[in-house]
Amino acid sequence: MLTINNGCRICKGTNLIKVVDLGLQPLANAFLRQEDLAHHEEKFPLEVYFCQDCNLAQLIHVVDKEQLFRDYIYFSSGMPRLSDHFRTYAEDVIDRFLKPQDLAVEIGSNDGILLAHFREKGFRVLGVDPAENIAPVAEKNGVHTITDFWSEVVAKNIRKDVGEAKAILGNNVVAHINDYDGLCRGVKALLHKDGVFVFEAPYLVDMFQNLTFDTIYHEHLSFLAVRPLQKLFARFNLEIFEVKIVPAQGQSIRVFVGHKGAHAIHESVEACVRQELEFGLDKVDSYLVLAKKIADSRDAVRKTVYGLKSQGKKVAAYGAPAKGNTLLNYFEVGGDVLEFALDELPSKQGLYTPGQHVLVVNKVYANSHQPDYYLLLAWNYLKVILEKEKEFLKNGGMFILPTGKIIGEKDVIALQNLI
């Protein structure tokens, strides 16, 4: 089911203008079994709109959250080195904001990978996640999980049952939420007066700086920057008091929010605001320039991939992340030119990518069907992948970046110095 927002999800204004159009696309995580390939595949508009009042970049075509999240294919624990990231993250929050036996609640807690670090340190933890297939995995990992979508009602019930939360966490989930009023009311209801709401999300600046437009897919309803978020939280007497730029999923922001006046405002907040204005995130024209660069990248990748295919070269995809499916469907590069997609997440192996129908395989299969080139869809793990694929590179294998640029063994040292 699809609904269309008539107003901005932050300021409710109707002064919206379409700035990026990636066409009709299937849901990025709607992988297919072989028997599904002959059936009709649902597709929805994938278009970014810019609010000229509060400057939020957003999708207005909203796919039913039940369809998106009740049976979810993404398991956080399967992602390379994500546990290390979350361990450092947890230690930062614990050291700065928590005391023994404080409660930490996570919105969109997935399989409990982050909360497990809090539990190991002796803190009370509680997850909230709607995925009925993932919550039992979290429970097995010792993280009690409420299988539901976050709401003010859920928050009030938690407060009634186990008390206020000193920390509320949300990682790669805030961008997924359509009802921002409900998000904030829930945080307001559950958060201790000195508590902190911390969340991570892809940073919109990264899209302008590094062309990471593959973060645009139907699960990501908003493309977040500090300035619009300040306006959102101010409506609920909450405020952003610190922002960190973190190298997760590309370039993400870790945003610290508290009750108004509860925490000193760090200079990082104003630094982000200045950076956003320098990139022109308050101007429609900046987004139109971005849209032209996105179209140019599509032309470059198609030229590269189909050119190699015409020379008899074997090309496969490296990774089958949701963001990669945005790329494949926008580029219109699929099973006719790609041999397979290598992905180490077992829940995706043996399935086909949505829209372009590329078979997802494991490492054993990929090694025995070695391509000449990999189209790097999991670019956010570039450093890990280059280290892992030293032998592939040594033997002459090469990677195609989502910009169309080709890199081989001789380029690795230079690249690793940049990432």
Question: Domain 285-416, CATH 3.40.50.720 — does that match?
Answer: yes
pLDDT in tens, 219-272: 999 999 999 999 999 999 999 999 999 986 678 999 999 999 999 999 999 999
CA dist 166 → 9, 241, 260, 357 (Å): 27, 16, 15, 45
Average pLDDT for 271-291:
98
Distance between CA atoms of residues 305 and 120, nearest Å = 47
pLDDT in tens, 115-172: 999 999 999 999 999 888 887 888 888 889 999 999 999 999 999 999 999 999 999 9
Average pLDDT for 203-223:
95
| Residue 370: partners with Cβ closer than 8 Å, 6 or more residues away | 314, 392, 395, 397
Kindly provide the b/e burial profile for residues 198-215, where b requires at least 16 CB atoms within 10 angstroms of the residue's own CB: bbbbbbbbbbbeeebbbb
CA dist 206 → 27, 158, 212, 352, 402 (Å): 23, 35, 6, 29, 15
Query: What amino acid is encoded at 377 in this protein?
Result: L
| pLDDT of the residue at 247 | 81
| pLDDT of the residue at 294 | 97
76-280 CATH fold = Rossmann fold (3.40.50)
Across 158-162, 389-393, 410-414, which has the greatest mean pLDDT?
158-162
Average pLDDT for 396-410:
90
76-280 and 285-416 agree in CATH topology: yes
CA 17 from chain centre, in angstroms, equals 23
Helix 226-234 / helix 267-278 crossing angle, nearest 10 deg: 130
Is the model's pLDDT at 410 over the cut of 90?
A: no
* Of 242, 225, 210, nearest in space to 276 by CA: 225
Average pLDDT for 332-351:
95
Is the model's pLDDT at 43 over the cut of 70?
A: yes
Domain boundaries, the chain: 76-280, 285-416
| Residue 137: partners with Cβ closer than 8 Å, 6 or more residues away | 75, 111, 112
* Of 144, 165, 156, nearest in space to 97 by CA: 165
How high is the mean pLDDT of the chain? Answer: 92
| pLDDT of the residue at 384 | 83
Is the model's pLDDT at 379 over the cut of 90?
A: no
Taking the CB of residue 113, how many other CB atoms lie within 10 A of it?
A: 25
| pLDDT of the residue at 229 | 98
Average pLDDT for 36-44:
94
Is the model's pLDDT at 78 over the cut of 50?
A: no
Is the model's pLDDT at 413 over the cut of 80?
A: no
Binned at pLDDT 50, 70 and 90, residue 75 comes out as very low
Binned at pLDDT 50, 70 and 90, residue 411 comes out as confident
Distance between CA atoms of residues 118 and 125, nearest Å = 7
| Residue 307: partners with Cβ closer than 8 Å, 6 or more residues away | none
Is the model's pLDDT at 6 over the cut of 70?
A: yes
Q: Which residue has the higher pLDDT, 180 or 85?
A: 180
Average pLDDT for 360-389:
92
3-state secondary structure of 305: helix
Q: Whole-model pTM? A: 0.92
